[in-house]
Chains A and B, each alone.
Chain A
Amino acid sequence: MMSLGSYLMVSGIIFSIGLVGVTTSRNVLKVLLSLELLLAASNLSFVAFSKFNGDYAGQLIVFFVILVAAAEVAIGLAIVVLMYRRISTISADDLKEMKW
C-alpha cells in the first residue's frame, strides 16, 4: 500500500502540468482540457485523503466536483463555439480586446 505522500505528489505533478497548459496554450480548447486536468488532480488528492482519514466526505466531494465540472465544460464549449462563429479562429491570441 503506498503512502499518502506519493498520491499527493502525483496529484501535485498533474496539477502543475495543468497550470502550464492553462497559462500557455494558444488553443482555447487546450485550455479547457488543461482545466480538466486541474480538476482531476484535485479529485485525486481528495480521494487519497478520504481513504487515509477514514471519512467518506472526500469521495462525496469528488462526486459533486465531477458533476459541476461536466456542467462547466458544457457551457465553456458553447462559448468556444460561439467565439469560433464570431472571429473564425480559436486562437487565444486573438482575444485581445482588453489591450491598451
Chain B
Amino acid sequence: MVDGCLVWTAFFAPLIACLLITFFLLKNKNLSSLVAIAGILTSFVCSCLIFSQIFQASPPAQLQQSLPWIHFDNFAINFGFLMNPLAIMMLLIVTGVGSAIFIYSRGYMDEDPSSPRFFAYLSLFAFSMIGIVLSDNLIQLFIFWELVGLSSYLLIGFWYFKPSAADAGVKAFLVNRLSDFGFLTGIILLWSVSDIGAGRSFQFTDLVPVISHIDPSLLTGIALLLFCGVMGKSAQVPLHVWLIDAMEGPTPVSALIHAATMVAAGIYLLARLFFIFEPSTTAMIIIAYVGAITSLMAAILAVAENDIKRILAYSTLSQLGLMVMALGLGGPMQGMYHLTTHAFFKALLFLGAGSVIYGMHHEQDIWKMQGLWKKMPITGWTFFIGTLALSGIWPLSGFWSKDAILALAFEHNPVLYVIAAIASGLTAFYMGRLFFVVFWGDTSPGRRKGDHHHEVHESPWVMTLPLIFLAILSAIGGFIGIPQYIFPDQAPEQLNMKVAIISSIVAVVGLSFAFILYGKRSATDPLIKMLGGFYNVLKSKFYFDDVYAWYVDHVQQNIALAMEKVEKSLLDSLILGELVHLSRIAGRGLRYLQNGLVQRYAMVFIFGAIILFVVLSQNL
C-alpha cells in the first residue's frame, strides 16, 4: 500500500525549502544551500520509500488522491496526485539526479555572492517539476508546466546583469509561452469533448475511456496541439532555439534543467498521456518525424560548436529528438528508458563540464583547454564514462536504451532508422571531438599565451562525489532492469542483435574518426577547412534565429506599432478627449456660482427656502 503522506511530503518539501530561503535565509550562503539540499533529499528519500511500497505489491500498487479545488457548474479542477510506476520512476530521477546536482551546486556556486537566491530558485524548480510528475489532471499539470518555465527563466537569467543571460532567459520564456498556447488550446479542446455521461473532466483517469468516443480527426488535432507543448518544453524543431542560449545559466542549472529533468518533461507528458496520442496515427507519424529531424539537425550543428556547454546542449537536443521519435513510433517504454539513462549520463557530462569550467576559472571555449586528464583525473574518468555512455558503447547504460529505440525504429520505419543511426554516429563523433580536445594531449604550457594550465586543479569533493555517483549509474544503468519498473505490464524487450551490432560499429567509427582528427592537437579546428562554406551555415545554426529575429523585427513590431496608433487616435483623442472637453466646460460653467459674494449666496439660499416652503405647503 502506498502511503499518501509520503507523496505529499515528497511533493511539498522543496517548496518549503524555497519559502524558508526566500523569507529567512537570503543573506546566509551556508544555510541556504543546506536547506535546499535537505529539501530535495527529503523528496528523494520519500520517493525511495514509495518505490519500495509500490513494488512490494504484485501487481504494483497505484494511488490517486485528489482534493477538490475549483468547482462550479460544469467545471471542476482538483488538486492531487496520481502515483503509479511511471510516475515513481520519473520522480526518482528528478529527486535523485536533483539531489546530486544540488550537492554539486554547493561547491560550484560558493564564490557567487547571490547563491542563496540560486538555491531558492532551484528549490522552486524542484517543486514545480515534482508537480508535473505527480499531477493527476490537465490543468494542474499546465500550472506546474508554466511554473517550471518560470523557474527556468529565473535560473537561466540568474546572472541578470549579463545582457546575454537576461536575453536568453526571456527567449526561453517566450518560446515556451508560444508552445504553451497550443498546449492550453489542446487541453481545453479535449476537456470540452470529454463528456460521456459523467460530465466533463480534466482528470487523466476520467479521460481514458473518453478517447474512444472522440472523432478521429479531432483527436489528431488535440494530439498535435498537446504536442505543441512538448515541442516547446523539450525543444523540438522549430522551437528548439531557446535551449542553446539557455546555456548562459550556471552549469548546475544546465545539468538539472536542460539535460535531465525539465526538457524531459515533454517526453514524460507524452508517456503519461500516451493513451491520447496512440489512437491517432497521423499525429504519431508527425511526432516521430519531428523527433528524428530534431535529432539529426542537432547532431550536425554540434559538430561546429566550440563552447563546451553548447556542444552538450546540442547533444541533449539530439537525444531528446530520439526519445520523441521513440514515442512517435509507439514505444513509450523505450522513450522513458532512454530518458532515464540520458538523465544519468547527461547530468554527469554537464557536471563534468562544470567541473572543467570551474577548474579553468570559468573558461568555456574548448580550444583553450588541453590535456586536462592529467590535471583533473576524477573529472576526466567520469567524463570519459559519460562520453562512452552517450555514444552507446556496450555495456554502458546508453547502449541499452539507445539500442532499444533504434530497434523500434528498425522494425517500424526504416527511413527513421537511418536518420537515427546517422544521428547516433554523429553523436559519437562530436562527443569524441569534445573529449579529445579537452582532455587529451600533453599539458606543456607556453604553447599559447594566456594559458591557465599551471593553475588548473581538481574540483573539491562536493563536486566530484556527485560525478562519481552519476558515473556509476551510467555504467550499470543497463543492468538494473529499468523498463520493467516503468511499465511493469509490458514484456521485457529482447535484444535485436542486428541492430546492436550496426549501432556499435557506427559508434566506434564515429569515435575513431574523432580520434584521427583531434588526437593530435592542432591550432584550430581542422573541420573548418574540411567543410568550407557549409561551416558558416552550421555556425549560424541553420539561420533559425535569424528568421525568427526578422519576423519579430519586421512583422510583429509593425503590427504592434499600428495597434498603438489606432489606440492613440481612436480611443485617446476621440473618446477620452471628448470626456475631457465635457468636464472642462462643466467646470467653467459651475465656477460662476462661486463668486465670493456672500450676499449672492444668501439670496440663493432664501430663494431655495421659499421654494421649499411652497413645495411643503402643497400637502397642507
Could you tell me which A residues sit within 8 Å of B by CB distance?
Answer: 19, 22-25, 31, 92-93, 95-100
Q: With A23-B602, A23-B603 in contact, is A97–B596 under 8 Å at CB?
A: yes
B603 touches A24 (CB 8 A): yes
A24 touches B596 (CB 8 A): no
User: Please, how many angstroms separate the alpha-carbon atoms of A98 and B591 in the complex?
Assistant: 12
Q: Which residues of A contact B524 (CB under 8 A)?
A: none
User: What would 18 A/B residue contacts be, using CB atoms closer than 8 Å?
Assistant: A22-B599, A22-B602, A23-B599, A23-B602, A23-B603, A24-B599, A24-B603, A25-B599, A31-B599, A92-B597, A92-B598, A93-B597, A95-B597, A95-B598, A96-B596, A98-B594, A98-B596, A100-B591
A100 surroundings in chain B (CB, below 8 A) = 591, 594-596
Set of chain A residues within 8 Å of B591, measured between Cβ atoms: 100
- Contact between A99 and B603 (Cβ–Cβ < 8 Å)? no
Give bound CA distance, A96 to B600, whole Å: 11
A31 CA to B597 CA, complexed, in Å: 13
B596 cross-chain contacts in A, Cβ below 8 A:
95-100
Give 9 A-B pairs besides A92-B598, A99-B596 with Cβ atoms closer than 8 angstroms. A19-B606, A23-B599, A23-B600, A24-B599, A95-B598, A97-B596, A98-B598, A100-B594, A100-B596
Q: Which residue of A lies closest to B607 (CB)?
A: A23
By the criterion CB–CB under 8 Å, are B597 and A96 in contact?
yes
Question: Closest chain A residue to B590 by CB distance?
Answer: A100
Please give me the 5 A-B residue pairs with the lowest Cβ-Cβ distance, nearest first. Answer: A99-B596, A96-B596, A23-B603, A98-B596, A100-B594
B interface residues (Cβ-Cβ under 8 A, vs A):
591, 594-600, 602-603, 606
**Could you tell me the distance between the alpha carbons of A22 and B599 in the complex, rounded to whole angstroms?**
7
Q: Which residues of A contact B598 (CB under 8 A)?
A: 92, 95, 98
Q: Which residue of B lies closest to A97 (CB)?
A: B596
Minimum CB–CB distance from B607 to chain A (whole Å) comes to: 9
**Shortest distance between the CB of B606 and any CB in chain A (Å):** 6
Q: B594, B597, B600, B603 — which one has the most chain A CB atoms within 10 A of its CB?
A: B597
Specify the chain A residue showing the minimal Cβ separation from B604: A23
Question: Which of B595, B599, B606 is within 8 Å of A99, CB to CB?
Answer: B595
Assembled-state Cα–Cα distance A92/B601 (Å): 13
Task: Report how far A3 CA is from B606 CA in the complex, Å.
Answer: 29
In the assembly, what is the distance between CA of A57 and CA of B529, in Å? 126
**In the complex, chain A residues whose CB is within 8 Å of the CB of B599:** 22-25, 31, 92
Specify the chain B residue showing the minimal Cβ separation from A20.
B603
Complex CA gap A100/B599 in Å reads 16
Shortest CB distance A42–B (Å): 15
A99–B594 touching, CB < 8 Å: yes
Write out the residue numbers on chain B whose beta carbons fall within 8 Å of the beta carbon of A98: 594, 596, 598
B33 → chain A closest CB, angstroms: 66
Find chain B residues with CB under 8 A from A97 CB: 596
A24 to B606, CA, bound (A): 12
* Residues in chain A near residue B602, CB distance under 8 A: 22-23
Within 8 Å CB of A31, what residues of B?
Answer: 599
Contact A23 B606 (CB under 8 A): yes
Could you say which residues of chain B place their CB within 8 Å of the CB of A23? 599-600, 602-603, 606
CB distance from B221 to the nearest CB of A (A): 67
Nearest chain A residue, comparing its CB with the CB of B594: A100
The residue in chain B whose Cβ has the minimal distance to the Cβ of A25 is: B599
| Interchain nearest-CB distance for B604 vs A (Å) | 9
Give, as a whole number of angstroms, the nearest-CB distance from A100 to chain B.
Answer: 5
Residue of chain B at shortest CB distance from A31: B599
Residues of A within 8 A of B597 (CB): 92-93, 95-96
* Interface-central residue, B595, B596, B600, B606, by most chain A CB under 10 Å: B596
A27 to B591, CA, bound (A): 25
Question: Which A residues touch B595, using CB under 8 A?
Answer: 96, 99-100
A13 to B177: give the CA distance in the assembly, Å: 84
Q: Which residues of B contact A95 (CB under 8 A)?
A: 596-598
Separation of A95 and B594 alpha carbons in the complex (Å): 13
Shortest Cβ gap from A38 to chain B (Å): 11
Bound CA span A19–B599, Å: 10
Of chain A, the residue at the smallest CB distance from B602 is A23
Q: Please report the C-alpha to C-alpha distance between residue A100 and residue B588 in the assembled complex, in whole angstroms.
A: 11
CA of A89 to CA of B597, assembled, Å: 15
**List of B residues within 8 angstroms of A93 by Cβ:** 597
Smallest beta-carbon distance A63→chain B, Å: 28
Q: Which residues of chain B come closer than 8 Å to A24, judged between CB atoms?
A: 599, 603
Contacts of A22 in B (CB 8 A): 599, 602
A63 to B594, CA, bound (A): 39
Contacting residues, chain B, for A96 (C-beta < 8 A): 595-597
Please give the distance in Å from A59's CB to the nearest CB on chain B. 27
Give the nearest-CB partner of A28 in chain B. B599
CA distance A73 to B595 in the complex (A): 27
Q: Which residue of A lies closest to B605 (CB)?
A: A23
- What separation, in Å, do the CA atoms of A98 and B594 have in the docked complex? 8
State the Cβ distance, B395 to closest chain A Cβ, in Å: 94
In the complex, what distance in Å separates the CA atom of A24 from the CA atom of B599? 7
